[in-house]
Amino acid sequence: MANYLDLIRACKDKPGGLIEAFHAIQENYNYLPKETVSEAARVFGISEAAAYGVATFYSYLSVEPRGKYIIRMCESAPCHIAGADEIIKAFEKELNIKVGETTPDQKFTLELTECVGQCQGTPVITINSVPYVNIQAEQIPAILALCK
């Protein structure tokens, strides 16, 4: 795992460097631990509140710990019409969490997303950004079993 200070420093002089740094941290740590946001504020010479504002503005950034597997249900219209609600309910039931939550063992996080460009295969989920198409509610236990 990369040192977060190195990741922040590597982006310091780039345009949009703060967001790039947050991306790099999240890729390594799966979320933005509090100390990384404080350190980014210091390196970029902005207030902690401003850095925290950026960290919480974008839905793809998270300041809360997230699971090893981040499952996102596409909620855009074509997937919605194709039964996204039913898939979400099936995941919630199977994982015993609600959308936006992480399982207590830190294995799974359930989130929503906008269209991921796979509309030919609605409904679509992504697991750690890899899309899976034509998902049916009854497949979900098997899909989760593959996430070891």
**Residue ranges binding ligand FES (CB under 6 A):** 74, 76, 78-79, 115-116, 118-119, 122, 124
- Specify the residue, 7 or 73, whose C-beta has the smaller distance to ligand FES: 73
Closer of 10 and 82 to ligand FES (Cβ)? 82
Nearer to ligand FES, 3 or 120 (CB): 120
Residues 6+ apart with CB under 8 A from 133: 118, 120, 121, 122, 124
Angle, alpha carbons 36-74-107 (nearest 5°): 50
Provide the token pair at 92.
């919630």
- Tokens at 121, concatenated: 């295969």
Least distance in angstroms from the C-beta of 117 to ligand FES? 6
Q: Which residues contact 7 (CB under 8 A, 6 or more apart)?
A: 21, 24, 25, 28
Q: Whole-number minimum distance, CB 87 to ligand FES, in Å?
A: 11
Q: How far is the CB of 38 from ligand FES (least distance, A)?
A: 36
Q: How far is the CB of 126 from ligand FES (least distance, A)?
A: 9
In whole angstroms, give the CA distance from residue 70 to residue 94. Answer: 15
Nearer to ligand FES, 73 or 95 (CB): 73
Determine contact, residues 114/121, Cβ cutoff 8 Å.
Answer: no
Contact assessment for residue 37 and residue 52, using Cβ atoms and an 8 Å cutoff: yes
Q: Quick one: 41 or 79, whose CB is closer to ligand FES?
A: 79
Question: Are 43 and 6 spatial neighbours (Cβ–Cβ below 8 Å)?
Answer: no
Q: How far is the CB of 59 from ligand FES (least distance, A)?
A: 15
